Structure 1
């Protein structure tokens, strides 16, 4: 099966074009002020309007209230929302009902016990995203370029499709996919030259690797027939 790739935290036309050109199925825009990747609504609207219909436009928010989400969804043409804070299953369900778009819910993972938290979200989210816990003192959720033990996800009985995130880059994504069994991956800092500054070359390298995994998976499937 093809590995689906989400390039998150895009903020320039050049980076967005590289993601689309390279075959990303999802592109992410961040709306969380502490993040160096945060976009204002005008800039996000301009970029999102350039994304072809074949690619899903995802807006990442963290514990956003209804007024913030209303303004976002009114101004920016998004296909999905990614909830990357401490949103409860009830809040996820309420957001999905209010805006009528698919929702991705992030789950921080450090040990197998963390995976028990997915049960409540599987009933309401369309996708899950497994990421590392933030380091001590971090002002942003998510792995902040840190990975967790990918093997924890291997064979997970999850009723929803899911992304693997946290510490991924072109040099380790193949290993991460093999170890976790992921069918979709999310990358942000791993394709940057500095926080918030995407590298076209790194985006291209990451997607080339992902496309190679797609070809390898297809070849393996064909050989097994």
Structure 2
């Protein structure tokens, strides 16, 4: 597997999970600030976990339609490197958040069919990265982290103006195939490395990253370039 692959382990809640993700070779760790999610963390909890991250590990805060006050409260405590917008934020709101808070922004887009790809072009003009996730069912309580995948052929070999990350239903068992089919250079996992909703399995984190990056790149004994 190419050394250019970068893995994101999302929905972390404890320092041990951050340490495991970093040791496995992940490039990003994600903290979820959304009360309905079993992976939700308070700013205080996220701060403790984020401070355990080594230099070079990108700390991402996932929010859903958060207002400025909520973002202020999070960023006052948590040393984040990027914001992930996983709600119904308009392109104008994405640009506003990026300008006001001075952090790179990743915008998540749910995909179920070809028609869902059109917004990616518009969001690519205002976001620093795109996250292409499985579109949640209409009655879903969560905008992501549902363990669902979509037809990867929809994004196979496609390019957008900004870097993009593949998400949705990825696991240690299928991530290598997903990368092969889509040529994604970045992959995101949350429920796929859990033993129960919101409970991360450290062995699965290692297995996922090893499958995505390849054994040599994921081996913590081998130096990695950021």
> Would the aligned equivalents of 2:128 and 2:163 in 1 still touch at CA under 8 Å?
yes
Q: Mapping of 1:1-225 within 5 angstroms?
A: 1=2, 2-142=4-144, 144-212=146-214
Q: How many angstroms does 1:184 deviate by?
A: 0.2
> Would the aligned equivalents of 1:145 and 1:190 in 2 still touch at CA under 8 Å?
yes
- How far, CA to CA, are the matches of 1:206 and 1:3 in structure 2? 12
- How far, CA to CA, are the matches of 1:211 and 1:159 in structure 2? 24
Q: CA 1:157–1:211 in 2, change beyond 3 Å: closer, same or farther? A: closer
1:185-225 deviation per Cα after TM superposition (whole angstroms, max 9, x unaligned): 0000000000000000100111111221776xxxxxxxxxx
- How far, CA to CA, are the matches of 1:19 and 1:64 in structure 2? 26
More helix by share: 1
- How far, CA to CA, are the matches of 1:162 and 1:26 in structure 2? 13
1:18-57 deviation per Cα after TM superposition (whole angstroms, max 9, x unaligned): 1010000000000000000000111111111111121100
Question: What is the SS of the residue equivalent to 1:130?
Answer: strand
Q: How many angstroms does 1:179 deviate by?
A: 1.1
- How far, CA to CA, are the matches of 2:145 and 2:152 in structure 1? 13
- How far, CA to CA, are the matches of 1:177 and 1:66 in structure 2? 36
- How far, CA to CA, are the matches of 1:157 and 1:42 in structure 2? 38
TM-score by length of structure 1 reads 0.93
1:50-92 deviation per Cα after TM superposition (whole angstroms, max 9, x unaligned): 1112110000000000100011111110000000000000000
Q: Which runs of 5+ in 1 are unaligned?
A: 216-225
Question: What is the SS of the residue equivalent to 1:117?
Answer: helix
CA RMSD of aligned residues (A): 1.2
- How far, CA to CA, are the matches of 1:78 and 1:213 in structure 2? 29
Aligned residues: 215
Q: Which runs of 5+ in 2 are unaligned?
A: 218-226
Moved over 2 A (4+): none
